[in-house]
Amino acid sequence: MYSRRHALRLGGLGLGAAGLASLGVGAAGCGGGASGGGEEGLAFWNAVYATSSDTEKTKKRGEFWVVRSTERFSKDTKLAAKVSDLPGDLPMFTKFRAAGVARNGPDVASLWSGAYTFGVKDYLEPLDEYFSAAERDQLTGWAAVTEGFEPGKGTIYGVPSGNDGICALYFDRRVLAKVGTEIGDTPMSWDAWIDLLDRIKRTGVTPLALGKYNSTAFTLFYWIAQVVGGEAGLHELGAGDRDFADPAIEDVVTKWLQLLDYTVPGAPTMDGGQAQSRLAAGKAAAVVEGAWAIPDLRSTLGDNIVMTTLPDVSSSVSVTGTGIGGPGGALVVTNYSKNKDEAVRLIKHLVSAEEQQQRIAGGETTPIPNAVGLDPTEIYSDPLYQQQYRWVNEKFVFYADNIWPTELVDEILAQAQLAWGGKISAAEFLTRTDAKRDEIAAKN
């Protein structure tokens, strides 16, 4: 379940187009089908909301919010809805696409948002006419489900199913105390950031523990976004409307490579959980993670966790005070569903402020609600989640790996590892990225 980076931070890199094409259709079973309608009711294929838990193994599937919420909806409609699980990784799209060709898939599905959703738009119902301007104003994150990533300028192919929060720095408060530093809400300048890392290093503690995904998609991609103007600039890079091999981006990569001297060895092969274990063991002072990591960080370090946004890569950036994040999931309606109006009703029910609050009250802390007007202090007892709610519902930079083609993301991650290892320069890294981007465009 959950979003792409939640899966990849644990399991490794994504699959390119060739790998995706080779996956079998039967990766996971999903009951029901949209073509049935009538007595079969609404089929809802879920790949975003939790239906199992590693920490609550005795909790039954029927006790999870998405199942109960769907049951509440079904009591108020003549067309009952049934939740089935999609795989929580790329095979979900193989299965969804195959069902679309056969026209026997779901009425509603929750998928990864952005480019992943747009990649199956041939099977999706455009939702522009189903949501009034007032209804859209009740949710944040519409850019993640709007083609072109600019609300009001492109077709809406889904509804943001909540927010992942933003990827932020999590420090061990005790290490900060050793160097006489308090972290506030204002982003650090790059020079102040490097100075802090230097002072931490002199205490004998390695400043940063970064996994292979944390060290790129959560950091480097954000700093690139800072100098290209956010999502629109990232989209232009992926589409070939501007080049990665640009002096401003090369400066970002050069600065990013400075972090090698302050990071626990092994970042290119370390997963997010391993990085967190270094922090928990006192072998590192900070990690970069999303809001999903808060429970684990609390369980190991308690009140000694301090959360802040990433530093600004320069003083001239147009994007500041936030981070990579946003809605990793999207709720969609198939264009072959016989029950489109009811399918939209189900989505509106799931994303309503009341239902989102019930989900959090039941202990499912993520996705963070994207319904506007909620008081985070009434939803969450943990101040870290309260702050994440404020951050992500004010502004965020949408995940670059949900904007760029999967094959391009995989190439960037591979080239970043070579640059991190000193095998290629920053300039070569970016030149190779442009070449791969152009190769993908030529094939498609």
Q: Specify the pairing of strand 324-325 against strand 108-112.
A: unpaired
Does domain 4-163+326-398 match CATH 3.40.50.880? no
Query: Where is pLDDT greater, at 12 or 292?
Result: 292
* pLDDT one-digit tens code per residue, 79-131: 899 999 988 788 899 999 999 999 999 999 999 999 999 999 999 999 999 99
168-321 matches 4-163+326-398 in CATH topology: yes
Bridge partners, 163 (sequence order) = 368
* Predicted pLDDT at 40: 67
What HEC string does the chain produce? CCCHHHHHHHHCCCCCHHHHHCCCCCCCCCCCCCCCCHHHCEEEEECCCCCCCCCCCCCCHHHCHHHHHHHHHHHCCCCCEEEEECCCCCHHHHHHHHHHHHCCCCCEEEEECCHHHHCCHHHECCCHHHCCHHHHCCECCHHHHECCCCCCCCCECCEECCECCECEEEEEHHHHHHCCCCCCCCCCCHHHHHHHHHHHHCCCCEEEECCCCCCCCCCHHHHHHHHHCCHHHHHHHHHCCCCCCCHHHHHHHHHHHHHHHHECCCHHHCCHHHHHHHHHCCCEEEEEECHHHHHHHHHHHHHHEEEECCCCCCCCCCCCCCCEECCCEEEEEECCCCCHHHHHHHHHHHCCHHHHHHHHHCCCCCCECCECCCCHHHHCCCHHHHHHHHHHHHCCEECHHHCCCHHHHHHHHHHHHHHHCCCCCHHHHHHHHHHHHHHHHHHC
Amino acid letter, residue 75: K
Query: Which architecture, in CATH terms, is 168-321?
Result: 3-Layer(aba) Sandwich (3.40)
Using pLDDT thresholds of 50, 70 and 90, give the confidence band for residue 330: very high
Poorest-confidence range of 8-22, 116-130, 193-207? 8-22
Cα–Cα dist 161/380, whole Å? 18
- Report the candidate in 262, 275, 267 with the shortest Cα–Cα distance to residue 311: 262
* pLDDT one-digit tens code per residue, 359-370: 999 999 999 999
Query: Is the confidence at residue 23, as pLDDT, over 90?
Result: no
Answer for the pair 366, 384: CB distance below 8 angstroms, yes or no.
no
Q: In sequence order, what are the residues at sequence separation of 6 or more whose Cβ sits closer than 8 angstroms to the Cβ of residue 24?
A: 91, 94
Domain boundaries, the chain: 4-163+326-398, 168-321
* Predicted pLDDT at 88: 78
Average confidence (pLDDT) over 341-357: 97
Query: Where is pLDDT greater, at 22 or 138?
Result: 138
Average confidence (pLDDT) over 315-331: 95
Poorest-confidence range of 77-91, 183-197, 331-345? 77-91
* Predicted pLDDT at 221: 98
* Predicted pLDDT at 17: 32
Query: Where is pLDDT greater, at 149 or 311?
Result: 311
Answer for the pair 123, 100: CB distance below 8 angstroms, yes or no.
yes
Query: Is the confidence at residue 5, as pLDDT, over 80?
Result: no
Average confidence (pLDDT) over 310-318: 95
* pLDDT one-digit tens code per residue, 279-291: 999 999 999 999 9
Answer for the pair 262, 271: CB distance below 8 angstroms, yes or no.
no
Give percent above pLDDT 70 in the chain: 91
What does the mean pLDDT of the chain come to? Answer: 90
Query: Is the confidence at residue 437, as pLDDT, over 50?
Result: yes
Q: Is 247 exposed, middle or buried (0-12, 13-18, 19+ CB in 10 A)?
A: exposed
